[in-house]
Amino acid sequence: MSEFTPPQEMVTLTIDGQEVAVPPGTTILQAAESTGNRIPHYCYHPGLSAPAQCRLCLVEVEGAPKLQPSCVTQVRDGQVVHTASEKAKGMRQGVLEFYLANHPLDCPICDQSGECKLQDYVHAEGRKHGRSREPKRVFGRDDFGGDVLFYGDRCVMCTRCVRFMNEVAQDPRLTVVERGNRSVIDTFFEDGVEGSPYAGNIVDICPVGALVSKDFLHKARAWDLDHTPSVCPNCSQGCNIDLHVRDNRVQRLKPRANPDVNGHWMCDYGRNRFEWMNREDRLSFPLLREAGEARPAEWGTVLSGLLENLEEPRPIRAVASPFSSTEDLVALRRVVDALGGGDILFRSPEADEEIPLPGFPQLARRRDLSPNRRTAELLQMKRVGGADGRGGLEALADYTGTLIVLGDALTDQDADFGRQAALYLYLGSHPSPAATQADVVLPIPTFAEQEGTFINGQGRVQRFWPGLVGPAQARPAWMALGVVLSRLGLGELPGTAAEAFLAATGVLPELQGLRYETIGTRGAILNEPVLVAGS
């Protein structure tokens, strides 16, 4: 049980005629947001300090002589706030016109177009025609190092980027130089944010197209991207992300806010490792090895042959991957146990050090570089090999029993791997030389192409959703292995990831009490097994 917290006194105020009750210390902007009333703003960001300088969030507070910046003005009992009064709207229109006085209006070639706050706000409330007839100030572009490109003319001087580097990354590499109309964001040194491990976030928090990603530059328009909630698979932190997909290719990864895991942020290490999800060299069909040659075959043929072959009692061993989903790993554990039990090995890469985000310390690029090692450990799988995620499979070289490989590409093994095995079943997404000797190769989707869960290093179960369409013949490993289990009389064949998860809750006591549907997009803490004294 969590500690008892006394009921908090609430402050009641009226925003646009609607009564709102919020805890004391809340700002008007947050209070309005809680009712779905989003007051336009640039400089305020929930993960940063609020300098109240963009002047866009000014609202009318009855009794105050001037409009008040809602991002820093705290609520008071009985306060009456108007966010859409003539005065507040007129002021917003005025401020927006100021923003456009020097803005290049290059939306047609701007990457931010479609997800640009200046565009949104001006379309919603701006003047139909700007009145500025004056020549515009020109700054031009600047390479900020790393993946960041700066278009000075689009900048609205909200200073979110400067504050992120100062307060959150605590690596002050950006500043405002000059003053007044000449002020512009700049780097201190030639290499700018190069090598700063969280610098990519400044592109995300830039409300306009001033800071853009070089990698994503001119790749896709924002309105053509589908956003799929997912979990970053590049370390055991499990940052919540969105896959931004166009033409069945992941174009970029963006952090998805989750205050319990990654706040609003993610590291550049994770952000930049998505190209593999777009690999086109895929295992597209089940392969059946006959007379020394692997031939594409129907799933039905392959599975019935496989089931027949498994009836013969033999020792069994498996190699799993901590990059597989919890459902896949549990299914593998169950199959191995059902066929007499045996070691399941896994290899897991590790970095030399953690890279924490100083301003948000619960977020770090973890040493453990796999997303689901926790599950493998809970399932009593054995970690072998080195910190590079290779080696440790020497014992399998002459293995003569049943061998199952799930998800591990076995990049360190040669084409002779598994030659001695009586039955070698390989479940993978990409072709691998080490699968040459496999009797049965089953194509499975990557995590980006299917539903499932990972359990991160902090013991948080987190769901991911399919953002890409995988090869037509690929089936999740839990489904393929589920066929084996149902044939062995161990439960019904799961038809959905939810059913596979339900099956997993029966195997892993830590998952008991969790329901797939209620994990939602924020994740749920593992239910630690209750230790009974003396047992």
Partner 1 sequence: MAYPYTHEKEVRVLSRGWGDPRTRTLEGWKAMGGYTALPKALGMSRAEVIDEVKASGLRGRGGAGFPTGIKWSFMPGDKKGAHYLCCNADESEPGTFKDRELLRWTPHQLIEGCLIGAYAIQADHVFIYCRGEFFEATQVLSRAVEEAYEAGYIGKDILGSGHDIDITVFAGAGAYICGEETALMNSIEGRRGLPRVKPPFPAAVGLFGKPTTINNVETLSSIPHIVNNGGSWYRQWGSEKSPGTKLFCVSGHVRRPGNYELPLGFPLEELIYDVCGGFREGRSLKAVIPGGSSVPIMSAADCAGCLLDYEGVVERGSMLGCASVIIMDDSTNIVKQVRRMVDFYAHESCGQCTPCREGTQWLSRILVRIEHGRGTEEDLDTLLELGNQMTGTTICVLSDSAAAPVASSIQKFRDDYLALIRRGEKVGAA
Residues of this chain that interact with partner 1 (CB under 8 A) are 51-56, 58, 65-67, 69, 72, 91, 94-95, 97-99, 101-102, 131-135, 137, 156-157, 176, 178-183
Going by their DSSP bridges, the two strands 293-296 and 364-365 should be labelled as unpaired
Q: Contact, 69 vs 39, CB < 8 A?
A: no
Smallest distance, partner 1 to C-beta of residue 120, A = 16
Alpha-helix runs per DSSP H in 367-476: 373-378
**Residue nearer to partner 1 on the CB measure, 73 or 450:** 73
**Residue nearer to partner 1 on the CB measure, 152 or 392:** 152
Q: Is 216 helix (H, G, I), strand (E, B) or coil?
A: coil
The tokens describing 470, both together, are 């995988």
Q: Half-sphere exposure of residue 322, counting CA atoms within 13 Å on the CB side?
A: 32
**Residue nearer to partner 1 on the CB measure, 99 or 464:** 99
Smallest distance, partner 1 to C-beta of residue 17, A = 24
Q: Contact, 450 vs 497, CB < 8 A?
A: yes
**Residue nearer to partner 1 on the CB measure, 43 or 250:** 43
Residue (of 246, 261, 238) closest to 374 by Cα position: 238
Smallest distance, partner 1 to C-beta of residue 66, A = 5
**Residue nearer to partner 1 on the CB measure, 99 or 360:** 99
Q: How far is CA 435 from CA 95, 270, 278, 363, 408, in A?
A: 63, 28, 21, 37, 10
Strands annotated E in 37-93:
58-61, 68-69, 80-82
**Residue nearer to partner 1 on the CB measure, 58 or 448:** 58
Smallest distance, partner 1 to C-beta of residue 84, A = 17
Helix (H) or strand (E) holding 301: helix 299-310
Alpha-helix runs per DSSP H in 166-280: 201-205, 268-271
Residue (of 507, 239, 517) closest to 375 by Cα position: 507
Alpha-helix runs per DSSP H in 369-469: 373-378
Smallest distance, partner 1 to C-beta of residue 32, A = 19
**Residue nearer to partner 1 on the CB measure, 135 or 534:** 135
Going by their DSSP bridges, the two strands 226-231 and 240-246 should be labelled as antiparallel
**Residue nearer to partner 1 on the CB measure, 54 or 148:** 54
Smallest distance, partner 1 to C-beta of residue 332, A = 58
**Residue nearer to partner 1 on the CB measure, 57 or 320:** 57
Smallest distance, partner 1 to C-beta of residue 389, A = 47
Smallest distance, partner 1 to C-beta of residue 65, A = 8
**Residue nearer to partner 1 on the CB measure, 63 or 135:** 135
**Residue nearer to partner 1 on the CB measure, 107 or 176:** 176
The tokens describing 483, both together, are 């066929």
Residue (of 189, 188, 169) closest to 177 by Cα position: 188
Q: Contact, 64 vs 11, CB < 8 A?
A: no
Distance CA 239, CA 261 (A): 6
Distance CA 287, CA 444 (A): 12
- Residues 6 or more apart whose CB falls under 8 angstroms from that of 512 comprise 505, 527
Its sign, for the CA torsion 256, 375, 277, 168, is positive
Smallest distance, partner 1 to C-beta of residue 453, A = 44
Smallest distance, partner 1 to C-beta of residue 23, A = 20
Smallest distance, partner 1 to C-beta of residue 64, A = 11
